[in-house]
């Protein structure tokens, strides 16, 4: 992978606007950190603004900055408006500021006066629609002189029109004109697509070449071309719990009892192990009350991250959830977003499972398989996927390892990525223990004791 990173370094070092379209896990973040650090050493860049999804601010960017540029000062700009302003205006100033797209509008004036001469946009598909407030706000802040690098592994995968926003946010006016980028998205749609009915447009034969022309200068390496990458890359994503989840999580953690006002149901945890299980249920989105009723929580943050991961993946995706009602919630959400998702869990008959697996392995309509580890963790060959997303962790090492092995079969031809989502201390610690091959019930109880006084 070192060669690919050096090549990406060369691209961003020599271009004011640059696009890195490498697949997930191929060093996009490290490449940009090294390149920006070199420019800072040369006096060409003084301060960097990184715009990235909320789940990657700390887990990806701060972690990689500490690894690849530990001599630089960096901070995550998140929280209340006052907290964000204090971070941006700190003296001496942080050299790297990492912020989420929707947080920019809160402190846009402070960012405008912050002296940022390089903006890095991670997971840049968040800016593919020029009509959104986030796009317009960042475009005004960027101006014409600020350098801009955009990162995404999936440029224009849904439609050629998606490329318009990426080019418009990244390129200078001179480059837009030189590369033939139309003045607005409608003209670009007319350039790359044609209508076959009142509501349906399809790409023109030359759409790919047009997209390639406007998304320049750019570089792309797949995981397969990075020969020194391991066969499986593990990625941890921190997903902030919603206010509702956080409120009830803390009550149950501290009191072993909660009353859910909206539903009128009560949840009681009789011991530490049971309480841990309930905390994991709240973190994942659905909790079972004392009467057996299902209490659903707002998990919009986590569902959005799953959508993003599915969009990033060039193959099909397995999503593992230990709780069946969470599985149903995830499937319903994906299907309403036009993402074909089917389910394997307890209660799905053997005949139906076989039909679902055949559709998943052979037909493009089924993009995602949402699975219960206990029901799908053994024996199945699911090599149409090279990506696994753990929506919530399990407490069984055997189920964890066996579930991951569903894509690591002899027929697998791609490098694999396993992403673990965590929004609470309970989930983060459990993933670490699973990685260390947690084996005993005692360790599960100790896990609860560890998180008893740890904030979310």
Token pair listed for 406:
């569903």
pLDDT at 12 over 60: no
Distances (CA, A) of 18 to 12, 198, 322: 6, 37, 41
Token pair listed for 335:
């299907």
Radius of gyration of the chain (CA): 23
Domain boundaries 2-225, corresponding CATH code? 3.40.50.10810
pLDDT at 315 over 50: yes
Tell which wins on pLDDT, 43 or 250.
43
Q: What is the pLDDT of residue 429?
A: 83
Beta carbons of 375 and 348 less than 8 angstroms apart: yes
- Cα separation, 215 vs 353, in Å, equals 42
The angle, 0 to 180 degrees and rounded to 10, between the axes of the packed helices 185-192 and 207-214 is 140
pLDDT at 65 over 90: yes
pLDDT grade for 446, boundaries at 50, 70 and 90 = low
Q: Is the dihedral of CA 143, 140, 32, 185 positive or negative?
A: negative
Residue 451: strand, helix, or coil? helix
pLDDT digits (tens, 9 = 90+) for 131-175: 999 999 999 998 778 899 999 888 887 789 999 999 999 998 888
362: buried, middle or exposed (CB in 10 Å: 19+, 13-18, 0-12)?
A: exposed
Average pLDDT over residues 284-312: 84
pLDDT at 438 over 90: no
277 forms bridges with which residues in the sheet?
none
pLDDT at 441 over 60: no
Q: Is the dihedral of CA 322, 326, 328, 330 positive or negative?
A: negative
Q: What is the pLDDT of residue 413?
A: 80
Domain boundaries 232-239+299-443, corresponding CATH code? 3.40.50.300
268 forms bridges with which residues in the sheet?
257
pLDDT digits (tens, 9 = 90+) for 199-244: 889 999 999 999 999 999 998 887 777 656 567 888 888 888 888 8
**Whole-number mean pLDDT of the chain?**
84
- Judging by DSSP bridges, how do beta strands 201-203 and 193-195 pair with one another? antiparallel
pLDDT digits (tens, 9 = 90+) for 260-280: 556 566 555 556 667 777 788
pLDDT digits (tens, 9 = 90+) for 172-211: 888 888 899 998 999 999 999 999 888 889 999 999 999 9
Other CB atoms within a 10 A radius of the CB of residue 128 amount to: 23
Dihedral (Cα; 355, 350, 408, 316), 10-degree rounding: 30
pLDDT grade for 5, boundaries at 50, 70 and 90 = very low
Q: Where are the domains of the chain?
A: 2-225, 232-239+299-443, 243-296
pLDDT at 106 over 90: yes
Q: What is the pLDDT of residue 381?
A: 82
Q: What is the pLDDT of residue 2?
A: 46
Token pair listed for 264:
């009128």
- Judging by DSSP bridges, how do beta strands 232-238 and 416-422 pair with one another? parallel
- Cα separation, 125 vs 53, in Å, equals 10
Q: Name, in order, each residue with C-beta under 8 angstroms of 259's C-beta and a sequence gap of 6 or more.
A: 265, 266
Whether 232-239+299-443 and 2-225 are alike in CATH topology: the answer is yes
Residues in the chain: 456
Q: What is the pLDDT of residue 226?
A: 67
222: buried, middle or exposed (CB in 10 Å: 19+, 13-18, 0-12)?
A: middle
Q: Which of 101-115, 276-290, 326-340, 394-408 has the lowest mean pLDDT?
A: 276-290
Q: What is the pLDDT of residue 3?
A: 47
pLDDT grade for 374, boundaries at 50, 70 and 90 = confident
Q: Which of 10-14, 24-28, 132-136 has the lowest mean pLDDT?
A: 10-14
Q: What is the pLDDT of residue 150?
A: 94
pLDDT at 8 over 60: no
């Amino acid at each position: 992978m070192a060669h690919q990173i050096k090549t990406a370094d060369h691209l961003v070092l020599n271009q004011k606007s640059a696009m890195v379209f490498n697949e997930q896990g191929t060093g996009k973040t490290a490449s940009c950190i090294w390149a920006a650090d070199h420019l800072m050493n040369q006096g060409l860049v003084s301060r960097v603004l990184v715009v990235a999804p909320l789940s990657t601010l700390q887990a990806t960017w701060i972690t990689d900055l500490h690894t690849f540029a530990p001599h630089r000062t960096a901070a995550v700009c998140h929280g209340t408006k006052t907290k964000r302003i204090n971070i941006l205006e700190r003296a001496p100033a942080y050299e790297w500021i990492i912020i989420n797209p929707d947080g920019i509008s809160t402190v846009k004036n402070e960012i405008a006066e912050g002296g940022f001469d390089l903006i890095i946009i991670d997971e840049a598909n968040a800016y593919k629609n020029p009509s959104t407030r986030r796009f317009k706000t960042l475009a005004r802040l960027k101006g014409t002189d600020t350098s801009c690098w955009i990162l995404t592994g999936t440029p224009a995968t849904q439609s050629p029109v998606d490329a318009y926003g990426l080019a418009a946010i990244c390129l200078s006016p001179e480059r837009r004109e030189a590369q033939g980028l139309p003045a607005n998205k409608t003209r670009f749609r007319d350039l790359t697509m044609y209508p076959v009915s009142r509501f349906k447009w399809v790409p023109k034969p030359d759409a790919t070449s047009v997209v390639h022309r406007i998304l320049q200068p750019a570089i792309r390496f797949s995981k397969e071309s990075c020969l020194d990458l391991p066969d499986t890359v593990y990625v941890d994503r921190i997903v902030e719990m919603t206010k509702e989840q956080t409120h009830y999580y803390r009550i149950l953690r501290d009191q072993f009892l909660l009353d859910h006002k909206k539903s009128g149901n009560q949840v009681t945890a009789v011991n530490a192990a049971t309480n841990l299980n309930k905390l994991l249920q709240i973190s994942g989105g659905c909790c079972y009350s004392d009467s057996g009723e299902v209490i659903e929580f707002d998990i919009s943050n986590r569902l959005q991250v799953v959508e993003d991961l599915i969009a990033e993946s060039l193959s099909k995706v397995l999503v593992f959830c230990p709780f069946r009602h969470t599985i149903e919630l995830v499937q319903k959400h994906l299907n309403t977003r036009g993402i074909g998702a089917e389910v394997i869990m307890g209660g799905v008959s053997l005949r139906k499972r076989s039909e679902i697996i055949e559709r998943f392995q052979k037909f493009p309509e089924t993009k995602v398989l949402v699975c219960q580890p206990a029901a799908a963790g053994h024996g199945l060959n699911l090599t149409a996927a090279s990506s696994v997303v753990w929506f919530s962790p399990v407490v069984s090492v055997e189920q964890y390892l066996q579930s991951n092995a569903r894509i690591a079969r002899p027929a697998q031809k791609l490098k694999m990525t396993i992403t673990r989502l965590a929004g609470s201390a309970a989930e983060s610690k459990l993933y670490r223990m699973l990685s260390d091959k947690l084996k005993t019930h005692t360790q599960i109880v100790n896990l609860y004791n560890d998180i008893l006084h740890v904030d979310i």
